[in-house]
Amino acid sequence: MAEVVKRPVLITDTILRDAHQSLIATRMKTESMIPIIETMDQVGYHSVECWGGATFDSCIRFLKEDPWDRLRTLRKGFKNTKLQMLLRGQNLLGYRHYADDMVEYFVQKSIANGIDIIRIFDALNDLRNVQTSIDATKKEGGHAQIAISYTLSAVHTLEFYAKTAKRIEEMGADSICIKDMAGLLVPYAATELVTALKETVKLPIQLHAHYTSGVAGMTYLKGVEAGADIIDTAMSPFSMGSSQPATEVMVETFKGTPYDSGLSQELLAEVADHFRPLRDESIASGLMNDKVMGVDIKALLYQVPGGMLSNLVSQLQKQNQMSKYYDVLKEIPKVRADFGFPPLVTPSSQIVGSQALFNILGGERYKMITKESKALVKGEYGTTPVQISQEIIKKIIGDEKQITCRPADLLKPELKANEAEMKRFQIQDEDVLTYAMFPQVAREFFEYREAQMTKIDPSLADKENKVYPV
Ligand code: CO
């Protein structure tokens, strides 16, 4: 009888990052995480994704928390589990390109404060934009995972993905992630894609999908059968909808098969019990909207990632324009086509999303053009997958010329200048990075922090307990 080769699937849990970013606009506080860290640390996850993405911005903007403190707290608690973060390559955790000295310093500090695995991606899959991050991660002894932003268009073929994977391997990455932000990767396409990548590269392959379109669990099943090594899941209270498939469900799916993860349902149940009240609270307060909780098959039509959906809902609610929801959704693929078919992921998702919002709410397409739309069309984020038409170039940037070099090659070192500007607020090395990425918000946060520390303004203390509605 032929021996069955065991190939246990590894699990990355996203509840401390992507899951709450996708379902409750990244509002989970560190204090909600602390009591369960010890239990989560015993589960045996391959890694816990807990930092980066929008968590940094949300910490200083809404939660009035120091993101570096959060990272150190998590590091202290997770003694056996690898901590993973999401980094937007040359954009770091902000929304523009930063000079190489910033990228190097940020990676150095992330690893020094406790990160083991850095998942790096570029919204346009322009690999020139991830090289500095890979090199810095390797230099600091971290694991550099490069994510390919998965999207659909005439140029995003199997051959394109295999070629991209090959280049990533040559660039020195340790693993590859297929990052399916919008739930576009359907099960049988996952079989083909994972098979193609496995035939092309030797690196471990991780699948990252969102449940938005309802297929992600099946996609993982087919992907793992085809050779995927690691899957991203979220503990059930913050799973599905625009988040990831539920950890417990995937663990049960593979139980007793060659892919059995070996994780204990009892321990997972304890973790879920901790987060369930937070889900209930989020629903009661409206922070978790039913628009992001169910299956939205229109995601397949509009190719909108989870985080973008919850942002869009929040923007439209604020302006009392919820009735325009589907109009904006319909406009998104049109703007995407105009802008050269970028995958929709931060920051391109915000750029395309905001432009689509303006096109609809303004009553006329491109009557109002955002600064970011101009930068994207100009080439300041890198090369778009498809060349943008002359007509659109003219409409968006007029007579200005597109740039074709790696955008960061045009940037001078900027760390020193930032340091000079924010010196008076600095209480730790890392503050300069916080400031450089979010100057305005960081300043307000530093002022708040200062007031908290000196307790000169008691009215500010209330802010800590304030519920921030979306
Ligand atoms: Co995601």
Task: State the pLDDT at residue 311.
Answer: 79
Distance in Å, CA 179 to ligand 1 centroid: 7
48 sits in which H/E element: strand 47-52
Task: State the pLDDT at residue 460.
Answer: 47
Distance in Å, CA 22 to ligand 1 centroid: 7
pLDDT per position as a tens digit, 386-444: 999 999 999 999 999 999 999 999 999 999 999 999 999 999 999 999 999 999 999 99
pLDDT per position as a tens digit, 315-373: 899 999 999 999 999 999 999 999 999 999 888 988 999 999 999 999 999 999 999 99
Task: State the pLDDT at residue 305.
Answer: 72
Distance in Å, CA 17 to ligand 1 centroid: 9
Distance in Å, CA 220 to ligand 1 centroid: 14
pLDDT per position as a tens digit, 323-338: 999 999 999 999 999 9
Distance in Å, CA 163 to ligand 1 centroid: 23
Distance in Å, CA 241 to ligand 1 centroid: 12
Distance in Å, CA 422 to ligand 1 centroid: 32
pTM (whole model) above 0.75: yes
Distance in Å, CA 53 to ligand 1 centroid: 9
Supply the mean pLDDT for the chain. Answer: 93
Distance in Å, CA 86 to ligand 1 centroid: 9
Q: What percent of the chain has pLDDT over 90?
A: 85
Question: Which pair of tokens denotes residue 103?
Answer: 């990228």
Distance in Å, CA 348 to ligand 1 centroid: 14
Distance in Å, CA 335 to ligand 1 centroid: 22
Distance in Å, CA 428 to ligand 1 centroid: 30
Q: Where are the domains of the chain?
A: 10-285, 291-408, 413-460
Distance in Å, CA 103 to ligand 1 centroid: 22
Residue with tokens 């994207």: 376
Could you count the other beta carbons within 10 Å of the beta carbon of residue 10? Answer: 19
Task: State the pLDDT at residue 1.
Answer: 58
* Matching fold, domains 10-285 and 291-408: no
Distance in Å, CA 227 to ligand 1 centroid: 21
What is the radius of gyration, based on Cα positions, of the chain? 21
Distance in Å, CA 347 to ligand 1 centroid: 13
Task: State the pLDDT at residue 92.
Answer: 97
Distance in Å, CA 35 to ligand 1 centroid: 25
Distance in Å, CA 451 to ligand 1 centroid: 35
Mean pLDDT value of segment 16-23: 96
DSSP 320: T
How far apart CA 147 and CA 145 sit, in angstroms, is 6
Distance in Å, CA 455 to ligand 1 centroid: 38
Distance in Å, CA 423 to ligand 1 centroid: 35
pLDDT per position as a tens digit, 153-173: 989 999 999 999 999 999 999
Assign domain 291-408 one CATH number from 2.60.40.10, 3.40.50.280, 1.10.472.90, 1.10.150.120.
Answer: 1.10.472.90
Distance in Å, CA 456 to ligand 1 centroid: 40
Distance in Å, CA 183 to ligand 1 centroid: 9
Residue 434, class by beta-carbon neighbours within 10 Å (0-12 exposed, 13-18 middle, 19+ buried)? buried
Assign domain 10-285 one CATH number from 3.20.20.70, 2.60.120.1030, 3.30.43.10, 3.40.50.920.
Answer: 3.20.20.70
User: Is pLDDT at 272 greater than 90 in this prediction?
Assistant: yes
Distance in Å, CA 121 to ligand 1 centroid: 11
Distance in Å, CA 192 to ligand 1 centroid: 21
Distance in Å, CA 210 to ligand 1 centroid: 6
Distance in Å, CA 338 to ligand 1 centroid: 24
Distance in Å, CA 63 to ligand 1 centroid: 21
Select from 229, 223, 126 the least CA-distant residue to 174: 229
How far apart CA 464 and CA 66 sit, in angstroms, is 13
Distance in Å, CA 18 to ligand 1 centroid: 5
